[in-house]
């Protein structure tokens, strides 16, 4: 693909950083924006941005999606070929504590991006949706054609709303738009609010980990954990295939793991990184409100579109994470 001017929102975030890096490596010009909020450790966001500061083709601007005038000015002064909207207030459980943040970022912010793409047309708008839109669907694997009108968290409701908004704008204003339903993304420099990161923190703080599965190993929670490199490969493939209208894709591993298997794999990876045996102290609790029993992506549609096939095993992915964690936080 020839060099493009691409806006990445949420560029200091986990997926935003890795995507920006890949786009720069492939010769594109990237403008990254982020509001650098303190939902989790801002130092990690600055660390990601610092890794890109020497790229001459990368520009960072601190802008909040909810700042309509700021977004309008951004689009007026840059001639973007494509937009990848990854900025959002993330997290299922936090949406119960702080719903306002989700309306501001995920609804108002996304509306501002859609309006900007309407007035300053782009070749392709890609945006982050989430596997949480599937709610407590019992049928697995989840397919893009499944009924998703019963969200069980406000976060999921905002992501479903994003899909409806994008569909409407695509229909009315001929904006080629692609929604990305991510399934539990993990890896080095990931989000500290995610379970694998939090469990590792607790181990080094000599604290027990809390596992919200009722201690029911027979009916354990399943998650389709997807390594960051596989996610980025999927996004890159879709960037090069603008939709004719609006469509959504699952981006997942298509191979869900029981939560307890994930935890023992994390213990093994951390043991390897430290050179000593690691076992977490575990406290089992009831499932949290808003949590879903299983996430399991059908990736047939994505495979058909771009030949997508995840390549990173859970053990390899977690090993890369724990090696990074031990080095970054100087835990040897």
Q: Where are the domains of the chain?
A: 5-183+227-251, 186-222+256-296+311-328
- The predicted pLDDT at position 138 comes to 84
136 within 8 A of 127, measured Cβ to Cβ: no
152 within 8 A of 135, measured Cβ to Cβ: yes
Candidates 300, 93, 295, 89; CA nearest to 185 is 295
222 within 8 A of 293, measured Cβ to Cβ: yes
How far is Cα 133 from Cα 148, in angstroms, rounded to an integer? 6
Q: Copy the structure tokens of residue 46.
A: 């600055």
- The predicted pLDDT at position 61 comes to 98
pLDDT, tens only, 232-263: 999 999 998 887 899 999 999 999 999 999 99
Surface-to-core class of residue 79, CB atoms within 10 Å of its CB (0-12 exposed, 13-18 middle, 19+ buried)? exposed
As a whole number, the mean pLDDT across the chain is: 94
118 within 8 A of 175, measured Cβ to Cβ: yes
**Alpha helix locations (H) across the chain?**
14-25, 42-50, 68-77, 94-97, 99-102, 110-119, 154-173, 195-204, 228-239, 259-274, 300-306, 314-328
Class of CATH domain 5-183+227-251: alpha beta
- The predicted pLDDT at position 124 comes to 97
- The predicted pLDDT at position 23 comes to 98
The catalytic site residues sit at 155
284 within 8 A of 217, measured Cβ to Cβ: no
SS3 28: coil
> Which portions of the chain are predicted below pLDDT 70?
none
How far is Cα 46 from Cα 54, in angstroms, rounded to an integer? 14
CATH code reported for the domain at 186-222+256-296+311-328: 3.90.25.10
pTM, to two decimals: 0.95
How far is Cα 167 from Cα 21, in angstroms, rounded to an integer? 29
How far is Cα 321 from Cα 14, in angstroms, rounded to an integer? 13
- The predicted pLDDT at position 94 comes to 83
Would you tell me how many other CB atoms lie within 10 Å of the CB of residue 50? Answer: 9
- Return the DSSP state at 297: B
């Amino acid at each position: 693909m020839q060099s493009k001017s691409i806006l990445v929102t949420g560029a200091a975030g986990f997926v935003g950083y890795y995507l920006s890096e890949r786009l720069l490596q492939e010769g594109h010009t990237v403008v990254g924006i982020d509001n650098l909020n303190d939902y989790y450790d801002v130092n990690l966001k600055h660390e990601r941005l610092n890794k890109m500061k020497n790229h001459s083709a990368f520009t960072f601007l601190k802008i909040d999606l909810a700042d309509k005038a700021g977004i309008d000015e951004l689009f007026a002064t840059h001639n973007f070929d494509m937009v990848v909207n990854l900025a959002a207030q993330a997290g299922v459980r936090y949406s119960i504590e702080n719903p306002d943040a989700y309306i501001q970022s995920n609804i108002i912010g996304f509306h501002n991006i859609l309006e900007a793409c309407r007035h300053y047309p782009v070749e392709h708008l890609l945006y982050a949706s989430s596997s949480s839109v599937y709610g407590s669907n019992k049928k697995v694997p989840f397919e893009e054609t499944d009924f998703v009108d019963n969200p069980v968290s406000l976060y999921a409701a905002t992501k479903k709303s994003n899909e409806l908004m994008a569909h409407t704008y695509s229909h009315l204003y001929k904006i080629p738009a692609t929604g990305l339903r991510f399934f539990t993304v993990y890896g080095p420099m990931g989000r500290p609010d995610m379970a694998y990161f939090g469990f590792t923190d607790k181990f080094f703080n000599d604290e027990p980990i809390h596992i919200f599965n009722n201690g029911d190993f027979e009916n354990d929670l399943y998650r389709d954990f997807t390594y960051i490199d596989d996610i980025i490969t999927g996004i890159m493939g879709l960037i090069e295939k603008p939709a004719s209208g609006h469509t959504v894709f699952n981006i997942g591993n298509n191979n869900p793991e029981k939560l307890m298997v994930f935890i023992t794999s994390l213990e093994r990876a951390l043991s390897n990184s430290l050179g000593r045996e690691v076992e977490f102290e575990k406290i089992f609790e009831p499932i949290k409100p808003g949590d879903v029993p299983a996430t399991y992506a059908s990736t047939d549609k994505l495979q058909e579109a771009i030949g997508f096939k995840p390549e990173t095993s859970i053990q390899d992915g977690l090993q890369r994470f724990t090696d990074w964690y031990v080095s970054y936080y100087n835990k040897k």
